[in-house]
Structure 1
Amino acid sequence: MRNRSNSLVAEDCLLRPASTTAYVAVVDYVCSVFPVRRDGLLGPAPTSAYVPMVIPTRCLHTSRFSITTPCTNVAELIMRDFGQFSNKTALIDGKSGETISFCELENDVIRYADFFRRVGIRSGDVVCICGSNTMEFAHVFLAATGIGAAVTIANGQLTSLELSDQIKISKAKFVFATEDTFRKCQEALQLTNNSENVFQIDHGKLSTMLSSSIHVDRSAFLNYDVSDDDVALVPFSSGTTGLPKGVELTHGNLTAQLSQIRHPTVLPLTPGDDRVITMLPMVHIAGLMIGLLNPLAQGATVVILPKFVPEDFLHAVEKYKGTFSLLAPPVVNFLANDPMVDKYDLSSLRDPYSGASTLGKELTKKMVHRLKLDGIRQGYGMSETSPVVMTDPPGNKQYGSIGRPIPATTTKLVDPNSGDDLTKPGEHGEIWVKGPQVMKGYLGQSQSTQEVITTDGWFKTGDIGYFDKDGNYFVVDRIKDIIKYKGYQIAPAYLENILMSHPSVREAAVIGEPVGVYGEVPRAYVIPSSPVSEETLINYVNEQVAPYRRLRGGLVFTKEIPKSPSGKILRRLIGQKQA
């Protein structure tokens, strides 16, 4: 059992809590502003201990709560209380109505683990899950991580070529697909010269291969002998520098994150009482961790929908009396404005939660009023942070804010130009994060890792924000150029590379075009090298990418693409020049 309070050494952050409460506490965080001393200590000191003339200060916000992680393997942490929940319902297929109890889920995971070993999956191997949401996501994840293997999650909208790239980078040995992506996964594996190791997991396809005569002794089939630093999950992210990268999340990252999320100040759930409606893709870090694994670890019931379909979601909330759901901004917009909502009883919803991008204050108020909620809480995070970093404290109605640091987490703002820490409310700077949920690094990309994680453990998010006098954080812009559309991340460089491969394109740049609650859509600016139509280039790109990556913002021919002296595209100037 490990206690994690994210104690910070003075050399790193000038904050050294002696207990779970330190310095000036405001609700659930600590904000400390103090001068940098030459001797690295805190508190009063002789004048000679200070740096002469220039005395910089630092402002850190850290939760006053620590966490305890009772075990190392993430599967063990999730399943450790299954015996207590036993006959309570763990999973419900929101379309068919099929249910699985915690006892049945545990037995199934053991059978999956046995099957994995029989087909040659070993500790340290990687398996891939690709497809739409299904109950078997839980089986594959828990069995794989339980025997010491890692899981990479792949979006079912990827093309076979894009999927093959992820399989190659992650070195996935087997792919577990749903019916809608099975053929695509086969095609992707053929491109990696490994065409046999794909299994369909939904509709009972895999269950026919499982042994039915296994003695249900968890310890005999699951290998919990892993270290904190062993990789458990590899989601793919555009990162802060462009092209997709494998994010190495360790058992230590995930056990810490699940312990953080279940804290009373974050997302506590009641066994047998809470019912979580999950339609956010579980191939997305938030859908997997918040929508599936966290509820299971706390003994709550998860109602799984393949994807967001308005009628299906509303029906599921009404039928199963859903108490919690993770809502992307477009869903919040739907709930606030669509007449269909009035036809359903959604009164069971108590504590909906939103992430992916910041919600507008007026839209939030409108949804809360319409559904007669006490409020809707917002959070902040990314794949590289497992994913949650900050969230609204319970009862906080500071709409538009991403909240405050969760337990065992510290945040600060840094001037992206000077590198100085910012100390005053309202000052805009890059959000930096430190905590046990911060990734190990980018898979096979040490240089990219060093660019975003400092030698003393701070992760640079690439997001510009500020905090107010109460310590609430707000995101206002991004340093990184990632386009966010419906919660998906789209790397401009990825689309630019495809455009540049066309013989009629000399230069290309892609920026995000705002489209309200959906975020942004990609718009391309192209300098042609020979006559070509906009339609030809748009089709050229769209045929090679997943639907969410398409050039929905169109394509514009231009004579100039602004660049810095080093040749970097100055994306912010493109829209200004066109305007």
Structure 2
Amino acid sequence: MSNLHPWLSHYPDGVPAEIDINQYTSVVAVLEEAFERYRQRIAFSNFGQSLSYGDIDTLSGKFAAYLTGELKLSKGDRIAIMLPNVLQYPIALFGALRAGLVVVNTNPMYTARELKHQLVDADAQAIVVLDNFASTLQQVVAETSVKHIITTGIGDLLGAKGALINFALKHVKKMVPPYQLPHAVRFKSALAAGTNYALPKPTVTHGDIAFLQYTGGTTGVAKGAMLTHANMIANMLQAGAWFGAKIKPGEETIITALPLYHIFALTCNCFIFLRFGGRSILITNPRDMAGFVKELGKIRFTAITGVNTLFNGLLNTPGFDQVDFSSLRMSFGGGMAVQRAVAEKWEKVTGCALIEGYGMTESSPVATINPLVDGAHFSGSIGLPIPSTAISIQDEDGRQLGIGEVGEICIQGPQVMKGYWNQPGETDKVLSSDGWLRTGDIGRMDDAGFVYIVDRKKDMILVSGFNVYPNEIEDTVMKHPGVAEVAAVGVPDEHSGEVVKLFVVRKDPNLTVEQLKEFCRENLTGYKRPKVIEFRDALPKSNVGKILRRELRDEKKQAVAG
């Protein structure tokens, strides 16, 4: 077995090769165990207001009762949740799951077109939406199957100061565009109405869908990955087993700056830490870096998750190096490649190694994590396959490649999705008959089972027949002290087919193109060196801060076409 799975002999002490997903019948069983076990412990905090596990149990129970009793929603119906990180999110999420509904996590930053596509595709019957984004819903709701709308304001569960926050957002900061949804119900009214009905107890099993988690919006039309209760339970148990004794039940405080509607934070911050009685500090607007750092200064935290741009942003925000990191034991990076320069600076400033993991929406999401052992440092690897997970490097024809060979990273395990919602053709493109998920990521595995990402298939640049991987270029350029952010893309060239173009956000305003080119000449071989460098004030990013190379490439194509 070790030849087929070389990673098993490199597992940290105490980490099992397999997990047993029959430990729980559904995600609801996980929730109810946590509610009971950690009843007095704080579960979620936001803007200084906190809710205990007991509070969340009561409030999500009322919401579940409202959904089934008042709205007459049935097991398997889809409910969209269009909220940032506010206290209403876990209440709506857990309430929907307890009612046996399928949660459709919805990015609040969606345009009307994107929102309509998701609501129509999911055939959503209900939606919970923040006031700030209700005007977007107003534009399209008549063209969808949504019958029930529940609206809420950021301050609605924040006590007396919540009214002031809502007033300021609407009238001072003008962040709530006017909207008209005449039949909408307020979130607090829904909770109140829920007291008139009994808590529903639908029979939910492993095979039932828990989430339609939309993905692929940056590569075409977004598709709903069907994540079952079994998928989510598996990933909770797999990651929980991996963390082992590192997580201290009832003692963890995790910073949740990535949005919970994104699979990374949903599984890692919400569910994995919830099982251990963790307290989650919800950061509603992490793009306000100064405010974020101020919030970090108020609390001693033990864990944080993020993407490379989030860590880099914090490191470059005044005051971050003054935060108390004495309790920080776990820093997890994922969602995009963590750059060595950022990871090394993070460890230097915080005293805590930045541990990289890997996964995707279609794998709930975690597939690999670096070992959490004493003395661990950033490795440049995305880690070892976690328990009950196999990783295979395959060629275009699905043949397994040898150690060190570069091919497509494929994942097999109980966390791999059921398929794409109503898209059997798209499902067949990524899921093989024997359960291998093709990730679209190019990588290799070493003889110890550590996996290394080389790049995304579609991001690879071909220069005179040589493969150039943007991650390598970006990693190198980030080592220049005058660079804050960088993206590398391929642009057409009549001599070599493609050349490398850099988009750079400067940390040093005096940095010149020639200085950067000289740095690249010293650090990169000829065909890898950027031929074009463009300075920008900012780079386009996804909702979790992932730099969107495709948008930069598309800009170039449009400019050529124009």
Compare 267-276 and 159-168 and name the one that shifted more: 267-276
1:154 aligns with 2:106: yes
1:480 to partner: Cα distance: 4.3
Cα 1:266–1:80, aligned 2, differ >3 Å: closer, same or farther? same
Q: Would the aligned equivalents of 1:247 and 1:384 in 2 still touch at CA under 8 Å?
A: yes
Distance 2:432 2:273 in 1: 33
How many Å apart are 1:393 and its aligned residue?
Answer: 0.9
Q: 2:25 aligns with which of 72, 80, 104?
A: 72
After superposition, give the CA deviation of every residue in 1:166-197 in whole Å (9 maximum; x if it has no partner): 00001111110122212222323123264753
Q: Quick check: 1:112 aligned with 2:63? A: yes
Give the secondary-structure state (helix, strand or coil) at the position aligned to 1:475.
strand
Q: Match of 2:65, SS? A: helix
- Pick the structure with more helix per residue: 2
**In structure 1, how many angstroms separate the alpha carbons of the residues matched to 2:245 and 2:8?**
21
Once structures 1 and 2 are overlaid, which stretch shifts more, 549-558 or 451-460? 549-558
Q: For 1:408, which of 388, 392, 398 is the aligned residue? A: 388
- The Cα of 1:262 is off from its aligned counterpart by 1.4
Q: In the aligned structure 1, how far is the partner of 2:28 from the partner of 2:246?
A: 19
Q: Structure 1's 414 and 194: CA in aligned 2 closer, same or farther, altered over 3 A?
A: closer
**Residue ranges of structure 1 left out of the alignment (5+ in a row):** 1-7, 16-21, 31-61, 484-510, 526-544, 562-579
Q: Which residue of 2 aligns with 1:377?
A: 355
| Counterpart contact for 1:76–1:146, Cα < 8 Å | no
- Tell me the amino acid that sits aligned with residue 128 of structure 1: A
Question: What residue is the counterpart of 1:90 in the other structure?
Answer: 43
Offset at residue 243 of structure 1 (A): 2.3
CA distance 1:25–1:125, change in 2 (3 Å):
closer
Q: What is the aligned partner in structure 2 of residue 314 from structure 1? A: 293
Q: Does the C-alpha gap of structure 1 residues 24 and 465 become closer, same or farther in structure 2, counting only changes over 3 Å?
A: closer
Change (3 A) 1:122 1:201: farther
**Distance across 1 between alignment mates of 2:385 and 2:217:** 21
| Partner SS state of residue 297, structure 2 | helix
Give the alignment of 1:113-262 within 5 angstroms: 113-117=64-68, 118-192=70-144, 194=146, 197-200=149-152, 202=154, 203-204=156-157, 205-211=186-192, 214=195, 221-238=199-216, 242-262=220-240
1:122–1:521 distance in 2 versus 1, CA, 3 Å:
farther
Cα shift at 1:378:
0.7
Aligned counterpart for 1:471 among listed residues 437, 449, 452 = 449
Q: 1:519 to 1:354 in 2, by over 3 A?
A: farther
Q: Deviations over 1:401-447 (max 9, x none)?
A: 1001111111111122x5321122x2111111110000000111101
Q: TM-score, normalised by structure 1?
A: 0.72
The answer on whether the counterparts of 1:378 and 1:401 sit within 8 Å (CA) in structure 2 is: yes
Q: Count residues in correspondence.
A: 460
Is the Cα contact below 8 Å between 2:389 and 2:411 reproduced in 1? yes
Tell me, in whole angstroms, the C-alpha distance in 2 between the residues paired with 1:357 and 1:200: 32
Q: State the SS of the aligned residue for 2:410.
A: strand
User: Which has the larger displacement, 275-284 or 306-315?
Assistant: 306-315
- How big is each residue's C-alpha offset from its partner over 1:523-549, in whole Å with a ceiling of 9 and x where there is no partner? 999xxxxxxxxxxxxxxxxxxx99987
1:186·1:198 contact (CA, 8 Å) conserved in 2? no
Q: Is the 8 A contact 1:274 1:323 kept in 2?
A: yes
Post-superposition offset of 1:456: 0.8
- 1:510-529, Cα deviation, whole Å (9 max, x unpaired): x999796867599999xxxx
Deviation at 1:265, TM superposition (A): 3.6
Q: Judge conservation of contact 1:132–1:180 (CA < 8 Å) in 2.
A: no
Shift of 1:201: 6.5
Q: For residue 43 of structure 2, give the secondary structure of its aligned residue in structure 1.
A: strand
Contact 1:400-1:474 at 8 Å conserved across structures: yes
Root-mean-square deviation (Å): 3.5
For structure 1, which segment, 328-337 or 129-138, has the greater mean C-alpha deviation from structure 2 after superposition? 328-337
The aligned counterpart of 1:362 is: 341
Inter-partner Cα distance in structure 1 for 2:203 and 2:97: 11
> Which secondary structure does the structure 2 equivalent of 1:234 belong to?
strand
Residue in structure 2 matched with residue 528 of structure 1 by the alignment: none
The alpha-carbon distance between structure 1 residues 558 and 208, as it changes in their structure 2 partners (threshold 3 A), is closer
Question: Counterparts in 2 of 1:1-12, with a 5 A limit?
Answer: none
Q: Which residue is 1:399 aligned to?
A: 379
Taking a change above 3 Å as real, the CA distance of residues 332 and 140 of structure 1, as seen in their structure-2 partners, is: same
**Aligned-pair distance for 1:313?**
2.6
SS at match of 1:86: coil
TM-score, normalised relative to structure 2: 0.74
Q: 1:380 and 1:111, CA in 2 relative to 1: closer, same or farther beyond 3 A?
A: same
Instruction: After TM superposition, give the deviation of residue 560 of structure 1 in Å.
Output: 8.9
- In the TM superposition, what whole-angstrom CA distance separates every residue of 1:259-298 from its partner, at most 9, and x where no partner exists? 1121144796333311111010112111211122222222
C-alpha displacement of 1:238: 0.7
2:426 counterpart residue number:
448
